[in-house]
Amino acid sequence: MSALLALLAIALSGAGLVAVLFPSRDRALQAALAVALGLGCWSSAYAAVLLLFGPGARTAKDIALAAIGAVLLVVARDGAPAAVEDREPAPRWLWAFLAVACVVATALFIEHTLRFPDGGWDAWMVWNLRARFLARAGDGFRAAFSPHLLFLAHQDYPFLLPGLVAQGFLLRGAEAPWIPIFIAWLYGVLAVALTTYLLRWLRGGIWGALGGLSVAAMPCFPTFASNQQSDVPLAVYLLISVALLAGPRSRRSLLLAGFSAGLGAWTKNEGALYAACLAAALLWRERDLRAVAWFALGALPLAALFVGFKLGVAPPTDLAALSTRESVIAHALDLRRWGELVLLTLRRVVYFQDFALWAMAEVLVLVLFVRKQPGTVPGTALFLAVAAYAPIYVLQPHRLDWIYRTSADRIFIQLWPAAVVATLLHLARATAPARTRAST
């Protein structure tokens, strides 16, 4: 009964949000959005209720979520569909290729999961550790944020993913290993599906298929998906936000983009940076304070949760807690450190094991082509995010090569689906006149 109620809470809250804020005829896209946003609603509501009222109010929370979602669905019944650009279908061989890529990625996900049954290093050090604390500790759940834990447990991280896994454990009544594995697989599927559907919605089927292929055939993608960490979920929420800001603009799309960016912030600290970059890019490119305000309003519930958690529960992040004014100034003035960052980044671009030729191709397209195009909100936001990482890497207190080696690929995969959308939109725009000429 509790599991059914939880499923209703996820499905109805997601579907209700999508119905109100993203009315469309594209049912596949709506369904994928509803799953992603419903999971986010379910986990963030769990966190809010847990921090405010303790662990006893989960069922009431699920009833409330399901009821709100049902009301939203009723309210949205007469909503007009969003504008949809004329679709350009992809050739069948391209869809077949995408299907093969998805099958291969799933096989690699399974292989990696069998090899690492507890997930990647950060899964047991941070994310599933947090889930176990939340599921096992009952009223003592605040032990998850104890300052006596090793700093490597990152007690300050927000907990959208652990909230999902912990609730799965509680509903199942046992810590079944398939629960975090299934959630990790689901977010992997959402990353590929939403890249495909959102690009199809924005520019047509061929661009959707190319986008999905660009994510599914990234060598490190199945690895990161199977690691049971928060990077792929964050990539999903950033992707939704970026794509909505690239599409037909309305108050509703801005609200939903802000909400998804807020879910990204509640998934991982980097998500707060991405949300800020999206708002800054919106202001920079469009000089529209109202648009920024609607975006911020959408993000507000999650921003409140994030700030409340940071101020009231979480210890300071290790990047701040372990820094001193002297270390920050010394690192800022250390030219070798800046040079080392450039070298590490150049080497990463040609890191074939994780990226094959994708990262090199992306850099070439950006330098040779996209740079000459008019700026867009998604492109500018991603550029700001990448640029912001330079001082973050240089000024942070850890050894630069160590933290770069352990984080750069994860940041890459967080940004990759959104970067694919932003890049393919540039390319689609550039080829549109040629198509028109050819057809006339």
Of the candidate residues 149, 297, 344, 349, the single one contacting another protein (CB under 8 A): 149
CA-CA distance, 409 to 231, in Å (whole number)?
10
Nearest to 268 by CA among 376, 149, 148, 413: 413
Of the candidate residues 140, 248, 339, 375, the single one contacting another protein (CB under 8 A): 140
Query: What does the block give as tokens for 8?
Result: 């209703």
| Candidate segments 61-69, 109-117, 271-279, 383-391, binder of another protein by CB under 8 A | 109-117
Distance of CA 395 to the CA centre of its chain: 25
Minimum distance from CB of 206 to another protein (Å)?
7
Of the candidate residues 27, 290, 371, 435, the single one contacting another protein (CB under 8 A): 435
**Whose Cβ is closer to another protein: residue 335's or residue 434's?**
434
Distance of CA 313 to the CA centre of its chain: 23
- Say whether residue 146 binds another protein (CB under 8 A): yes
Query: What does the block give as tokens for 402?
Result: 């160590």
CA-CA distance, 320 to 156, in Å (whole number)?
11
User: Cβ distance 262 to 301 under 8 Å?
Assistant: yes
**Whose Cβ is closer to another protein: residue 285's or residue 426's?**
426
Long-range contacts of 429-437 (CB under 8 A, 24+ apart): 429/373, 430/369, 430/373
End-to-end alpha carbon distance in the chain:
61
Query: What does the block give as tokens for 439?
Result: 């057809």
Site for another protein in 389-408 (CB under 8 A): 397-399, 402, 406
- Say whether residue 116 binds another protein (CB under 8 A): yes
Instruction: Determine the residue type at 160.
Output: L
Query: What does the block give as tokens for 144?
Result: 């998850």
CA dist 12 → 69, 146, 300 (Å)? 5, 35, 21
Per-residue x/- track, 84-103, another protein (CB under 8 A): ----------x--x--xx--
**Whose Cβ is closer to another protein: residue 152's or residue 289's?**
152
Minimum distance from CB of 406 to another protein (Å)?
8
| Candidate segments 121-129, 162-170, 267-275, 332-340, binder of another protein by CB under 8 A | 121-129
Minimum distance from CB of 371 to another protein (Å)?
14
Interface contacts to another protein, rule CB under 8 A: 94, 97, 100-101, 104-105, 107-108, 111-112, 114-118, 124-125, 128-129, 132-133, 136-137, 140-141, 143-144, 146, 148-153, 177, 206, 210, 213-214, 216-219, 222-223, 322, 352-353, 356-358, 361, 369, 397-399, 402, 406, 427, 430-431, 434-435
